[in-house]
Structure 1
């Protein structure tokens, strides 16, 4: 496929956001079903693939591509990955924890996909909060709080599914403080460079992330 044909194909898909919404919905829905089934290990092993697919779909349905989008992803990936590296190797920022090999290839003990996941969560949260007619500081603070609350949902499920393991199997309060600090910096950067978020699937992806971890908390952890 030539670059022109590829561009045409992407534009045709982009014009039909329902396709992206259905793909994301199907993957998260069947992910929940699969993890709760006897084939849970197979579905858990596909987590990195699911996150990668979500990232690609999110990019496809971004209305406009710009340098601010590239800088946003780069900053988010780097600060998120660096924070995780310091946490895994030195117990800084989040506390003492390790990543097994569940989430795929690693650098310095941190799965590469984790940097992408930081962008997925913060970009989707920003797509919900930033368009609101609020004071800029209030939007950044509220986006930060929402991101931390999402992590509250994620942590018990992540440990149960062996995404990462905390020392003594306890999530320290330091982790949530760390999430607040890193998220706050990311949202400040998004706002500072005036990231334009016009994305038909971002809010749907955010909803499915919340639904995914909420249901697994109820049915897997309880």
Structure 2
């Protein structure tokens, strides 16, 4: 267990990893586009997470327990940073796999979103048991065989991780001369 004087480190790590993702995007697509992508991913994820907290939408029913930084719509900003890091990391991995694939535009976009979503769920499978069981940043109101994390959380992660990348694929493709 972390000593109490290091409690701040988790949130700082998530925000710093988000900053690294922003720097990557700025180098790849320019500062304005990177800021737009950052606001879109962070805003969309916080909004959907707020629906999860309020209505149990997508991820199952849960509440944020510990102070995990400032909140927007009942969701810690740190969660937006976590989603941003996951989405951009998944994006980089998916684009790396698809680099040599010659697919029609629509098929390419869907394949990219599916591969990206699979990577996001794999990361979620590793992150959530620590955040939920060890750190207790949130509490689920349900059971499951996987650390008592409802399976709806992972299907919700897949769906949100599909929606965001497909929108990014369209946005980046329409505004970037070369998509690979």
Instruction: Give the TM interval when normalised to the shorter protein.
Output: 0.7 to 0.9
Distance across 1 between alignment mates of 2:18 and 2:126? 20
Specify which of 152, 156, 172 is matched with residue 150 of structure 2: 172
Displacement of 1:161 after TM fit? 0.7
Q: How does 1:176-191 map to 2 (within 5 A)?
A: 176-191=154-169
The offset of 1:147, in angstroms, is 0.6
Q: Which moved more, 1:151-160 or 1:54-63?
A: 54-63
Match of 1:204 in 2: none
TM-score when normalising by structure 2: 0.78
Kindly state the Cα deviation for residue 168 of structure 1 after the two structures are TM-superposed: 4.4
Which of 35, 60, 79 is equivalent to 1:114?
Answer: 79
Aligned to 2:170: 192
Give the Cα–Cα distance (whole angstroms) in 2 for the partners of residues 139 and 89 of structure 1. Answer: 31
Deviation >6 Å, runs of 4+: none
Cα offsets for 1:82-103 (capped at 9, x unmatched) = 1110111111111111112332
Q: What is the rounded CA distance, in whole Å, between the counterparts of 2:142 and 2:7 in structure 1?
A: 23
Instruction: Assess if the C-alpha contact under 8 Å between 2:121 and 2:157 holds in 1.
Output: yes
Q: Aligned in 2, Cα 1:101/1:190: closer, same or farther, shift over 3 Å? A: same
Q: Is the 8 A contact 1:126 1:187 kept in 2?
A: yes
| Distance of aligned partners of 1:58 and 1:149 in 2 relative to their CA distance in 1, 3 Å threshold | closer
Q: Unaligned stretches of 5+ in structure 2?
A: none
Q: Is the 8 A contact 1:68 1:193 kept in 2?
A: no
Higher RCO (CA < 8 A, seq sep 6+): 1
Aligned residues: 159
Aligned residue for 2:124? 151
Q: Distance in 2 between matches of 1:74 and 1:57?
A: 15
1:214 aligned partner: none
TM-score (norm 1): 0.64
RMSD: 2.1
